[in-house]
Structure 1
Amino acid sequence: MPTLRIVTWNINSVRLRLPLLTDLVRDLAPDVICLQETKCPDELFPHEGVAGLGFPYRAVRGMKGYNGVAVLSRIPLAIREGDPDWCEKGDCRHLGVTLDVPGGLDLHNFYVPAGGDVPDRAANPKFAHKLDFLAEATAWNQARGPARRAVMLGDLNIAPLEHDVWSHRQMLGVVSHTPVEVEALASWQQAGAWHDALRHFVPPSEKLYTWWSYRAKDWAAANRGRRLDHIWVSQDLAGSLSGCDVLRAARGWAQASDHVPVMAEMKL
């Protein structure tokens, strides 16, 4: 039975880190790569370089300097029409496509707002935006009902579980692990009846990180990570999951992103 390998990665500038995609392809052999924070307007996206890596099908939604999402695929795809413009900001945080596989497969690539540094809606408009974004996404999923033949992934900028952060106690007041964010993400997950592909294989009792801050002098030694990047699958695909990988070594690459690529594999 053929398999499908899907990777999500906050690349933190696709033009700056285009050479690192070669390493990603070598190490994970993905069929589909979903990027966030491409920081690139559509007309400047490096299509030629990506095509040279064996991804002839591409969908991009970007803007100058920040945000931006892209889907790179070895499989034909069609952009989903009519998905929301979250919070009416037009800020390129979501791209939905349908992959041309048997039975079809909807793929949603998200870049959730980071939320700034102060976890207070009234004092921090960025945090308010994050909570509003999550509320809209939850309502959208509730209106659509449980997901079917779908994958939802990306940099969701929340580490929901106790062992998704280096210190649950110390992180409770830090944006990305506050109770209000964790509750909001759980509501979104429940609204679509989404299944956590990484925790399908890695028990919640084990530490699991996908992001390490640039601020640490030695990120590996400090190991103060967070699991901000997620892959969720609809319940009808949960039984087809056959593997996952967090490419921790990528954090040590030259000119690395502070996020590392995350992969889920499933049988078609």
Structure 2
Amino acid sequence: MTIRLCTWNINSVRLRAPIVLKLLEEEAPDVLCLQETKSPVDKIPMELFAQAGYPHIVADGNKGYNGVAILSRLPLEDAGKRTFCDTGHARHCAARLESGLTIHNFYVPAGGDEANPDTNPKFAHKLEFLANMAKWGREEDVSKSVLVGDLNIAPREDDVWSHKQLLKVVSHTPVEVEALEKVMIDGGWEDVTRADIPEGKLYSWWSYRAKDWSAADKGRRLDHIWATDGAGHVPGSSKILRDARGWEKPSDHAPLFASFDP
């Protein structure tokens, strides 16, 4: 059975529930992974999603910030949650489908404005989080798994609007890119999106600060779908739904899709 998966930093699941429902109706993914839900689990509008055909949910949340959720129209079981740093932040949850495919949903810390761990605790936290993700990938069985989410790093030169101008900007600095690459290598992950779309500029995030985000097109690919052996990635199935960035009261991120046949 082919499973169509979507990941989306929704930037408040309660505020943007109408566009979540729009996505579910128009795109009908089997599984939708959300980040930055900004809601305790008991405040997520689960009844709305169940009525839309997505009665199964695994989630973790903080009031007003962070938060991750996996919505599914297929039965799933909770496969655990981790903090990766001793913060209490809700930045990871996992679910296992009846096919045996495990989905790990991540919201990696943004890292603040200054790319210096000695003077910016938020950036130090981001690097520690990534180091712990790499350790987790080395030590645990992540076979037949998919890793999705807002990883808050645009690793390639063509994942940003200007490699030269963003080299010292948090999300594209060499130290972050190196840390993300170590997560990928240590866990045996493949970047599914770039396997399907290997060349050219590709973005999933555009700042709210731009008066006309589409015309300026100063984006970054901060959102990712990775997979390990056995996940059954369907070649050519990836896409970024850029149009969703222009929906009413949008997130600053666009949904990212890929399909799997485990």
Q: TM-score, with normalisation over the residues of structure 2?
A: 0.97
- Aligned partner of 2:48 in structure 1 is 49
SS of 1:86's partner is: coil
CA distance in 2 between partners of 1:16 and 1:182 (Å): 32
% of aligned pairs identical?
A: 53
Map of 1:97-246 to 2, 5 A cutoff? 97-101=95-99, 104-144=100-140, 147-203=142-198, 205-237=199-231, 240-246=234-240
- Gapped regions of structure 2 (runs ≥ 5): none
User: Does the CA contact (< 8 Å) of 1:242 and 1:266 recur in 2?
Assistant: no
SS of 1:69's partner is: strand
User: Does the CA contact (< 8 Å) of 1:195 and 1:238 recur in 2?
Assistant: no
Q: Relative to structure 1, is the Cα distance of residues 114 and 239 closer, same or farther in structure 2, using a 3 angstrom cutoff?
A: closer
User: Does the CA contact (< 8 Å) of 1:141 and 1:192 recur in 2?
Assistant: yes
- Aligned partner of 2:246 in structure 1 is 252
Q: Which runs of 4+ in 1 moved over 2 A?
A: 235-242
SS of 1:243's partner is: coil
Q: Which amino acid aligns with 2:165?
A: Q
CA distance in 2 between partners of 1:75 and 1:22 (Å): 17
- Gapped regions of structure 1 (runs ≥ 5): none
Offset of residue 222 of structure 1: 0.3
Offset of residue 250 of structure 1: 0.4
CA distance in 1 between partners of 2:210 and 2:129 (Å): 29
CA distance in 2 between partners of 1:261 and 1:190 (Å): 25
Offset of residue 238 of structure 1: 5.3
CA distance in 2 between partners of 1:239 and 1:58 (Å): 23
Q: Relative to structure 1, is the Cα distance of residues 186 and 90 closer, same or farther in structure 2, using a 3 angstrom cutoff?
A: same
Q: Which amino acid aligns with 1:212?
A: W
SS of 1:80's partner is: strand
CA distance in 1 between partners of 2:238 and 2:24 (Å): 15
Give the counterpart of 1:85 among 83, 86, 92.
83
User: Does the CA contact (< 8 Å) of 1:197 and 1:231 recur in 2?
Assistant: yes
Q: Is 1:74 matched with 2:73?
A: yes
User: Does the CA contact (< 8 Å) of 1:32 and 1:75 recur in 2?
Assistant: yes
CA distance in 2 between partners of 1:127 and 1:54 (Å): 39
Which piece of structure 1 moves more, 188-197 or 229-238? 229-238
User: Does the CA contact (< 8 Å) of 2:58 and 2:94 recur in 1?
Assistant: no
User: Does the CA contact (< 8 Å) of 2:25 and 2:52 recur in 1?
Assistant: no
User: Does the CA contact (< 8 Å) of 1:154 and 1:231 recur in 2?
Assistant: yes
CA distance in 2 between partners of 1:188 and 1:181 (Å): 11
- Aligned partner of 1:11 in structure 2 is 10
- Aligned partner of 1:34 in structure 2 is 33
CA distance in 2 between partners of 1:26 and 1:168 (Å): 36
Offset of residue 236 of structure 1: 2.8
Question: What do residues 21-57 of structure 1 show as CA deviations (whole Å, max 9, x unaligned)?
Answer: 1221233220000000000111211111111111011
